[in-house]
Chain A
Amino acid sequence: MAFLEIRNLEKSFGKVSVLKGIDLEIDKGGFLVLVGPSGCGKSTLLNSIAGLETITGGSISIDGRGIDGLHPSKRDIAMVFQSYALYPNMTVAQNIAFGMEIRGVPKAVRDKAIGQVSDMLQIGHLLDRRPSQLSGGQRQRVAIGRALVRDPKLFLFDEPLSNLDAKLRVDMRTEIKRLHQRMGTTIVYVTHDQIEAMTLATKIAVLKDGLLQQSGTPAEIYNNPANTFVADFMGSPAMNLVPVAVHKNGSGVAISAERDNLEPLVLTVPNAPAGLAGHDGGKVIFGVRPEALTDRDSADRNARNIAEGECLIEVVEPAGSDTFAVTRLGGKQVTARLRADANVAAGQKAKLAFNLDKAVFFDPASGQRIG
């Protein structure tokens, strides 16, 4: 039995259904990241786990104990909020100790706990300050300290980094990851930032419109997206999704993408998934990540199936470490990730290598993966 189990969770506000039957679980010590665009229900899901929202249907259990209907303080959880939610009228030490004070923990024990947490987060010198006298990063640490001091079974983070500037965000991200590795705690973390999700998670759950689109390890989500939404949402630059026609030929399946003023680009897919042949004569969506679409020299040496095609480069975007080249296939912009010093120029043709080991195909009507 998993540590946190969410079964068929439903939540509606009046007639508006926000969560439509979510099933999700995470093992002890795992780092579950809920990711999705705004309004997908990820914060509502987190608040439901916290008990800050009452659920309409389904069940939630932590460590085998059903927590439906329990008060937030009885669920053995701690939460870090987006705005940090530090009590403005209390010092840092009082903020950290407030929960213990409410529970009637003796002062000596409280002070010891404050000492331990402030050492761990290096906020010992801030204990007598008020939140208004702290910087964003310091507030963030105090908020994490307030959660740590409870020593809960489950930590909940609600977009904790989105109020920080870009540099600090990366630092705090690393710090949260380090904290998780050192303490071995179980964390549920909400973000709309797919890079945060990829870097932090041991398990990612992608939500959209109150439905779980896919859950799995970051690698599974990235390499084997279940549908076009997940494929498009995760990864930056986003996965190229090209409408192509499917033809069976002798050795397997070929796909062809329409091009303006050029012959269609035809690629033979030797390792085509079984389902693809069923679309013979029809259209599918061909998904390939920018790093699987590159110049010949930097193509993955271990890849078994590489197809080459000559494409007209429309835009070249040097990014320092790489050069991104934009071409057009099937009426869509397609981004290729090339070596920094790749010899390409806008308006000229270049030979691009498609790593078909990494290619995925989707049904154009449903958007679902073709297996």
Chain B
Amino acid sequence: MTHVLDPTAAGRPVTTGAPDAFADVTRSDSAFRAFLHGLPGVDQVGAEARAAQLGTRSIKTTAKAWAIDTAISMVDLTTLEGADTPGKVRSLAAKARRPDPTDAGCPAVAAVCVYGDLAGVARDALAGTGIHTAAVATAFPSGRASRAVKLADVRDAVEAGADEIDMVIDRGAFLAGRYLDVFEEVVAVKEACGPAHLKVILETGELRTYDAVRRASWLAMLAGGDFIKTSTGKVSPAATLPVCLVMLEAVRDFRDATGVQIGVKPAGGIKTTKDAVKHLVMINEVVGADWLSPDWFRFGASSLLNDLLLQRQKLRTGHYSGPDHVSVD
């Protein structure tokens, strides 16, 4: 099948490196730094207030049912533990296909996200379902390895069957101000991905400021990332609403400037249906309904899916459900 993220299918030419409009900003380290530091600053208080205010919307009944199904279809069902086994990945894949075995109307999730060495297991278990196999690579989660090792990691995951690669940026280089190094690394990883789609993890919990999040977002988008992703899930704080707001504004501004649409994936710390619905509200208000699809927005989560299923069962049966009525991961 055509990959839902296929850039040619979406009318996006396959390119590496910055789009034409921004080709010159990456010509040198100083030019790139000047560009990134020239991005408008983020009003921290304003961003947090706006995120909090959008979080107060009340979504009920039919709108809630739609939101829950949409959120389920956006989940990247994730297991990133040292103790992962092929059996656990297969059981996760089974859950990805039929999240609620008692209800055939429940949508499947968007992807299963695993470590690269288990990508083959996931791909085989998901064959023919349209559910994507995502693999983390580039020395996830720290990103502390040489570029050669990172690129080998990516090629390995792609060969194993991953059609989406979640890479981590080199936060050390980013915080040290070596933006062009980080940029070139993302470009190289994008090339190594080949047909697979690239999600760039910014690890916003380590970037300290919203200004840095905005710069990292632009860096990743200019370098050819198909998605920008908040976190690895291994660092706290992970995805927060204000960070997601800043990233959504970045993809909105990027599309306005270049015509290229980039996806957003908050990951880590989103555990409840209420959190997920807040994100959906924010997408609709900040970037519009164009992003309200699994092609352009994903939730990186493991425990979120069970809470979505409990809420879905509550709407279906009229009474509260309990953790005995969903599978234990």
Say whether A associates with B: no
